[in-house]
Structure 1
Amino acid sequence: MTLSQLQLNHTILEQRFPHVITKIKKISDNELSTPLFNELFERDTAWLNAVEGVIGNGKILFVYGFERGLSIADLLELYPNHWLFVYEPDEQLFQKAVTEYDLSLLLGHPNLYWLSVGESQLNMMFHMLSSYMMEDLAFVALRKYLSDDMSTLREVKEKFKEYRQSFLVDKYTENRFRQEWTQNFLYHLSDVLYTLSIERLFHAFEGATAVIVSSGPSLQEDIEWLKKLRPHVLIISAGSSIQALIKHGIQPHLAVIMDGHPVNKKIFASSATREQPLLFTSSSYYEISDQNCAEKIHSIMKSDAVSQYFFGLSKKELFISPTETVAGTAIQAAACLGAKRIILAGQDLSFPNNKFYTDGIEHFAAETIDKKVQEAPKKVLNVKGTYNTTDESFSLMKEGLEKLIIALPRIEFVNSTRNGAVIEGAPFKLMEEIYKWLASESVDPDAIADLINKKNIAVDMNKVQDVRDKLRATLEDLSNVRSEIAAIHKLMNKLREFSRTKPAKAQSMVESIEQMWGLIANREWFSPIFESIMPIEIARFDQVLPFIVTEHQLTRKSDLIYEHLGKMLQDITAQIPILEEMLLESIQRVDRRSNSDALTQKSIN
């Protein structure tokens, strides 16, 4: 009995593009009656001629539309040196195609590199395109979409430009903090094993009002109102604002830390700051969590692939995404706790009256701050209708917060920052008005601390052992990788010469090198750890990969492998001792924690 067309197509999709099969399996049969194909069976020569005009020097084609796959097949045949990234916006049309036609050869074609179906998979497509493209990208739309959807196509192009810009900014941010973040991810594993996650407190304060306190200069004018408000709302300090709150005798219900820099030691220098309930993210500076004497909860960020690997978690299980500012982390924490209303305080996002911080913030040198304020190049509308000076960093934070507000439509946002920038989606209200408005609500003084203590349950020792085993296995495997890299280098040293004198031998060496590199790169731990500690190097190699894979001329292919894979392997080798040190310390931290836990258990018994 032969497999049906649908089964054949489903089998290959399952292997290559599982996200697509998950999507189309949700479409019921009665939804498939409407979509119609416009694609002709004969080759569309006029369209292909037009495509030829937009193919640049890049190796990547972004194709908008799939239909029956006929035009895709033509592109694969005519452009064997290009990778196709195909997006079909119409889920039902794609389901109809895989139901009615045998597309297994097309779907299995190695140069059909990526496939996304439906609007929810568009960002996934953008991510893949941004990962692999260099400067040039040819954008091609099937005739159906060229005639019907020109405005949509323009919109998609714009969205992609924005996504790519953000992707590049993220990569450079990751690169800037790569060693700090990787260290924090690994050193926090022990603490994460022994603390509750923010997800475990989901909607524990359903319907509460939360005030997210930041360190802007306007906070000074509202500090007395915050004191009055504390019995009625959840006070959540974002980053350095804890200094100002403690200085004025206000204990936050929760302090949030996201920043991975050791400057946090200054922020949390006083014992009073370390005695507040703490939400630490896995990216935050590890010593703060180490020293915190009070109740703690953690958040593994959606961007932290290292912790996700060691804990066997998927992004879907995590609530908090990275944002440009710790206030964004605090807002998401409040949303997770079930807040129906979020008040933003001290969120100036600019330099009102040429001030950077509220009084009591002391972790930066005054001359550094003065210089930043004096050199601020931009203006932003403030809540009073005049303008404040600001800079690029604050502009990005403002944009990030506004996106977050849009992403949380069920929460009412209010901006109480009386001299700060206008924040779209958070209308301005004076703190004294807010106080009258919220005087009837009440929150226990130790609400979050009490909840953490109540929820704290026995540690899963199987999970502790599992994380320890994974850490040890990764540490051991790093030395195997070092040996495997040395073996590849040995082959590479002769590759370029042989590609010119002994082509058959060189071809065999290319195949061996590709196989050996595949064994390194396909290890389960490789991508999370190396993309964390060397994001720019990995990104650059990914961008040149299409050129290496699609190059058929042996001498040129050998040169590309020698140059680009050779550089990549050198970079990996340079990071191995650093990673070995971090992994060893992470193992020791888990061991110390479980030994002290065992002693505590013994003394209790």
Structure 2
Amino acid sequence: MEGNIFAKNLEVIKRRFKYIYEKLDKLNTANRIKENIKVISEVAKDSNIVLKVNIGSKEYYLSSKYKPVEEARKLVNAQDLKREGIKILFGIGNVYLIKELLNYMHEDGKLVIIEPYLDIFIKIIESIDITHILEDERVVIWIFDGDTESLGNMLDMYLDWTKTEKTKFILSPNYDKFSKEESTIVLKVIRDLLVDNKLTVNTILYFGKMWQENILKNLRYLLESSWINNFKDSFISLPAVIVSAGPSLNKNVHLLKQINDKAIILTGGRTLKILLEHDVKPDFVVTIDGSEKNYKLFENVDYSDIPLLYSPRTHYRILEQHKGKFKIMLNSDRFTYNLFMKYGIDTGFVGGGGSVSCFAFDIATKIFNCSPIIFVGQDLAYTNGLIHAIGAHDRLNEISVEDNPNLLYVDGVMGDKVVTDYALYNFLRWFERRIMYDNSGRLYINATEGGANIKGTIPMRLSEVIDSYFAQATSIEEKKREEIEKKFKIVDDNTRVEIIKELENINKDLSEILDKVNKALELNKRLLNGYDKSTLEELESIDNFLNEKFKEGSLLDDFLLSISYEVLNHEINYEIPEKANVDIVEKGEKLYKGIKKAIEYSLPILQESLKEIKSRPCY
């Protein structure tokens, strides 16, 4: 009997969970996650199969040995669960709990099951027919063998940023007793990812409208700019210095003048003024932030003779104020990337990591292919209680450490413990992951002389770096100028005309979409009066039209993402059918009103940009 159950389960595993099947296929003693565990199947009082785990002299039942089904139902009812969203269950041992969770969950939900013991998983598929669980498209199963990187990559696929508020971690009965270490590790991976996702959500909700305005107003500069992919391998094996505005920058910023002509220096707006005051002219200024606050860092600073690497989302006045020739686009949004790709131009896509330093890092490594990479001012911590270097800050430059729940301690580069917050810690982890995954043999040096230790870097004083790597180096100033001049290319006249036509078509499309959305709002209200087949069919037709128009890479992406978050987190009460109908109508109304608002805001700016593009001399 057990053989038949195992074969049935294995057939589905082979089809749906190939990586687990391969693990089972190669199974030997060394593959077992724990060797001191014995898993036994027993028959409960209600005739259902239950599992018992023996570890040393202790035994643990993974479900009730009397009434496992009834207990599972009570467990689910006791949880503060939403029917939608993602549930992460640690431990597969209680099959009845899984069944009850799936019964409770909405059809759009997702159940990620993480099992730390391969032995338990094997005993389950040998003893209990779980094909209905394995077949359920909502179910994802992961055997955790201690590899947090693989676990994080898997979870990252399912932890949808739009549903962070609906993610729930559930611990299967008794796993906290015999698998406490593993559950703690897994929970930390989940929390870190949720922090990442929460930052993404907060960024989108806060900046969506602002990004939209900047992309639209920056359209006029795109056709006069070169793009980052043109500079691939331009400075291969040349040293790059990434200058950030951490508090420790004041210790050694004056030394950068000694290597100004011997390295590629990249910086952001916050450090630009400090560098220029120390007679250090960076080779590239990177700007990605679309806020007025970011523009203020550039205001009253002359940077027109410095190549500007910019995201289309950056504040439009930063580009407006740069009167020089060398504007180079960093594509960090899908719309501009797809717009150029349509005409065979691969601009390159720089993902970055949410900060100017992250973008500068990706440019120096993935585009320029520099080595070594030298960090200066990259504290990623509140060194001496300061937020930024003196001269790079706003009015407030100190942080209160006492009784601040948003702060944590991390290892410092000087062997001490330093204070940071979750946002900076997130950037620290980003750099460490990038360095860890780099197989090029590239050297990374942390010459910050303060702040957090960045794993994978060699801590050195900047003076030591200069003595060790630049003492015999010759000037590369001429090579830098030649490469920038040679690689700087803009779209040809024919492509320019075609892109302008495409923008004009988008202008027409948005007007048509606005008409459709207004119609959808009228139709949506009719549904409050009850089921109406013709109304539903008409709404479905409009929805299909909108889905087609708003494929990934739409001009309204940034604005619509914030709308999507609000709509997807709109609660629908499925317990009461009458209430569910009202909730669905309200959800539709939010979507249509959101699109209407986005278009009414964006259309005039797009039209003004088109007018400006056509009036510029090269048209």
TM-score by length of 1: 0.72
Does structure 1 residue 306 correspond to structure 2 residue 335? yes
- Alignment match, 2:9: none
The 1:80/1:220 distance shift into structure 2, 3 A limit, reads closer
**How many pairs are equivalent?**
535
CA distance in 2, matches of 1:232, 1:51: 67
The one-letter amino acid of 2:197's match is: F
- Alignment match, 2:227: 197
Deviation at 1:437, TM superposition (A): 0.7
Which deviations, in whole Å up to 9, do the C-alpha atoms of 1:113-166 show, x marking residues without a partner?
6989997972553244x434643547699xxx9xxx998787656534432332
- Alignment match, 1:535: 561
Q: For the Cα contact (< 8 Å) 1:220–1:358, is it kept in 2? A: yes
- Alignment match, 2:287: 257
The one-letter amino acid of 2:273's match is: Q
CA distance in 2, matches of 1:450, 1:219: 30
Structure with the higher helix share, 1 or 2: 1
The one-letter amino acid of 1:59's match is: R
- Alignment match, 2:396: 369
Structural RMSD (CA): 4.7
Deviation at 1:262, TM superposition (A): 2.8
Deviation at 1:217, TM superposition (A): 3.8
Deviation at 1:276, TM superposition (A): 1.1
Does structure 1 residue 184 correspond to structure 2 residue 195? no
SS across alignment from 1:420: coil
SS across alignment from 1:297: strand
CA distance in 2, matches of 1:454, 1:506: 64
- Alignment match, 1:429: 460
- Alignment match, 1:491: 523
Higher relative contact order, structure no. (Cα contacts within 8 Å, ≥ 6 residues apart): 1
- Alignment match, 2:610: 587
CA distance in 1, matches of 2:557, 2:218: 18
CA distance in 2, matches of 1:407, 1:288: 34
The one-letter amino acid of 2:590's match is: K
CA distance in 2, matches of 1:35, 1:474: 56
The one-letter amino acid of 1:482's match is: L
- Alignment match, 2:8: none
CA distance in 1, matches of 2:155, 2:559: 24
The 1:395/1:138 distance shift into structure 2, 3 A limit, reads closer
CA distance in 2, matches of 1:176, 1:319: 23
Does structure 1 residue 408 correspond to structure 2 residue 429? no
SS across alignment from 1:83: coil
- Alignment match, 1:14: none
Q: Residues 36-115 of structure 1: matches in 2 within 5 Å?
A: 49=69, 53-54=75-76, 57-60=81-84, 81-85=106-110, 112=137
Deviation at 1:552, TM superposition (A): 9.3
Deviation at 1:587, TM superposition (A): 2.3
- Alignment match, 1:576: 599
Q: Percent identity?
A: 19
Which deviations, in whole Å up to 9, do the C-alpha atoms of 1:347-398 show, x marking residues without a partner?
233444555444554xx55xx324x445784475544445666555544443
Which deviations, in whole Å up to 9, do the C-alpha atoms of 1:378-433 show, x marking residues without a partner?
47554444566655554444344334433435432212122434333333211111
Q: Residues 253-402 of structure 1: matches in 2 within 5 Å?
A: 253-270=283-300, 272-292=302-322, 293-301=324-332, 304-312=333-341, 318-336=348-366, 337-361=368-392, 365=394, 368-370=395-397, 372-373=398-399, 377=404, 378=407, 380=409, 382-385=412-415, 390-391=420-421, 393-402=423-432
Match of 1:557 among 541, 559, 580: 580
CA distance in 1, matches of 2:141, 2:598: 34
Deviation at 1:444, TM superposition (A): 1.4
- Alignment match, 2:7: none
Does structure 1 residue 239 correspond to structure 2 residue 254? no
Match of 1:166 among 187, 190, 196: 196
- Alignment match, 1:95: none
CA distance in 2, matches of 1:87, 1:354: 41
The 1:591/1:384 distance shift into structure 2, 3 A limit, reads same
Deviation at 1:210, TM superposition (A): 0.9
* Uncovered stretches (5+) of structure 2, i.e. residues with no partner: 1-14, 29-47, 51-62, 116-130, 143-149
The 1:153/1:171 distance shift into structure 2, 3 A limit, reads same
The 1:213/1:75 distance shift into structure 2, 3 A limit, reads same
Q: For the Cα contact (< 8 Å) 1:256–1:330, is it kept in 2? A: yes
Which deviations, in whole Å up to 9, do the C-alpha atoms of 1:519-563 show, x marking residues without a partner?
324423587444411534311312348x48xx5975233211222
The 1:214/1:590 distance shift into structure 2, 3 A limit, reads same
The 1:357/1:33 distance shift into structure 2, 3 A limit, reads closer
More deviation, 457-466/191-200 = 457-466
- Alignment match, 1:41: none
The one-letter amino acid of 1:320's match is: V
The one-letter amino acid of 2:82's match is: G
Deviation at 1:345, TM superposition (A): 1.0
Q: For the Cα contact (< 8 Å) 1:196–1:452, is it kept in 2? A: no
CA distance in 1, matches of 2:213, 2:510: 16
Which deviations, in whole Å up to 9, do the C-alpha atoms of 1:44-89 show, x marking residues without a partner?
9869948754486423465899xxxx99x98999568433547799
Q: For the Cα contact (< 8 Å) 1:218–1:420, is it kept in 2? A: yes
The 1:511/1:558 distance shift into structure 2, 3 A limit, reads farther
* Uncovered stretches (5+) of structure 1, i.e. residues with no partner: 1-19, 37-43, 91-102, 500-504, 599-605
- Alignment match, 2:10: none
The one-letter amino acid of 2:599's match is: I
The 1:587/1:150 distance shift into structure 2, 3 A limit, reads farther
More deviation, 200-209/404-413 = 404-413
The one-letter amino acid of 2:539's match is: I
The one-letter amino acid of 2:586's match is: E
Deviation at 1:249, TM superposition (A): 1.3
Deviation at 1:279, TM superposition (A): 1.3
Match of 2:487 among 451, 455, 459: 455
Deviation at 1:511, TM superposition (A): 4.9
TM-score by length of 2: 0.71
The 1:136/1:514 distance shift into structure 2, 3 A limit, reads farther
